[in-house]
Amino acid sequence: MPPATHWIVGPGAMGRLIALRLASQVPVALIGRRRLPARQTLVTPEGEVWTQAFAVAQIDALPADIPTVVHLTTKAHGTEAAHAALAAALPDGVPLVLWQNGFACQPRLTEQHRGPVLCASTTEGAHVQGDDRVTHAGHGQTFLGALDGRHARLASSLAQTLSAAGLPAEAVDNIHVRLWRKLAVNAAINPLVAQFAIRNGQLRDRPFRPMVERLIAEVAATLTAEGITPPGGGGLEGWRKLVWQVVEATATNRASMLQDVQAGRLTEHEAILAPLLAAASRHRLSVPCLAWHLHDLRRRAAALAEPPAAC
Ligand code: PAF
């Protein structure tokens, strides 16, 4: 049997990290809107430098071979368009792995895709350093599972492949809860650090600390109403513990939403904040701080979309 070919669609930091790591185990093709150099370099958290060559392609000129697995690693707001661009080229049954933050495209693509769909929730950290270089900033953990509770064997086999490639992964039967927990952390940290252009650790200090606490309280009330628990349980205290642990562990980071704002890119507010607002509205809960941040990030996104003013 030929070895499984993994297509990685979306060559941002996470996509390239996965491609570079997986290429030590399986054939890989890296696919994006534009063609990247076929030789890519990874700087590991231990400071080692590895270079790997693999197939690269553009999404409008896909490789002729059929992949065994497709990983979608685009930003949350680009995922459904990327899937639509691929769908016609994929025969029924090719598994899809969704690596997005938030909880927006995952349920929709689980319904639409004509094959198994797994979701991944990861704490791996990476940033790009140019078209041919990515830094694996810190080791993390990846959880894999299907929202419809199926495909446990596929999730275990993929978790083994990722783990062997240096990305420790575990198949879980509660990926829905794992995705919401990560979303909760992102909702409490990212809008504030993006608004004030600060590193995560500065949230521990005034005037930011009470702002984080207000966001955690709104997130905790919403997720409790949705039946989502923090790790180890414990209601509001459990959510506070989780968020402050992540702030501590990532104190020197510039969070992804801050990087997007500073680069003039669209942020992932629709995938992170909009599902919380929708859940709060279903449960008739008032979440003014979350609502204010969503409104503010939407206003910024609309300004990005406007053509430059004539001068
Ligand atoms: O979005 C990010 O950058 C990360 O998920 C997190 C946990 C907020 C750390 O920076």
pLDDT tens profile 266-289: 999 999 999 999 999 999 999 999
Ligand 1 atom with least separation from CA of 190: 8
| Ligand 1 binding pocket mutation candidate from 202, 250, 258, 260 (most atoms within 8 A of CB) | 250
Ligand 1 atom with least separation from CA of 186: 8
∠96-223-281 over CA atoms, to 5°? Answer: 95
pLDDT tens sequence across 37-60:
999 999 999 999 999 998 999 999
Cis status of the peptide bond prior to 3, with omega within 30 of 0: no
Residues 6+ away with beta carbon under 8 Å from 206: none
The span from the CA of 120 to the CA of 155, in Å, is: 10
Helix (H, G, I), strand (E, B) or coil at 172: coil
Per the DSSP assignment, residues forming a β-bridge with 98 are 72, 119
Going from the C-alpha of 26 to that of each of 158, 164, 207, 264, 282, the distances in angstroms are 11, 11, 49, 35, 44
- Compute, in angstroms, the gap from residue 253 CA to the centroid of ligand 1: 8
- Compute, in angstroms, the gap from residue 199 CA to the centroid of ligand 1: 10
Ligand 1 atom with least separation from CA of 200: 10
H helix intervals, 88-207: 105-112, 152-164, 175-196
- Compute, in angstroms, the gap from residue 30 CA to the centroid of ligand 1: 24
- Compute, in angstroms, the gap from residue 197 CA to the centroid of ligand 1: 14
Return the residue whose CA atom lies nearest to atom 9 of ligand 1: 255
Cβ 134 vs Cβ 8: under 8 Å: no
Residues with CB under 6 A from ligand 1: 185-186, 189-190, 200, 246, 250, 253, 255-256
Query: What is the pTM assigned to this prediction?
Result: 0.94
Averaged over successive runs of 10 residues, the pLDDT of the chain (311 residues) comes to 78 94 94 91 94 91 92 96 93 97 97 97 90 90 95 97 97 97 97 97 97 98 96 92 94 91 95 98 98 97 69 43
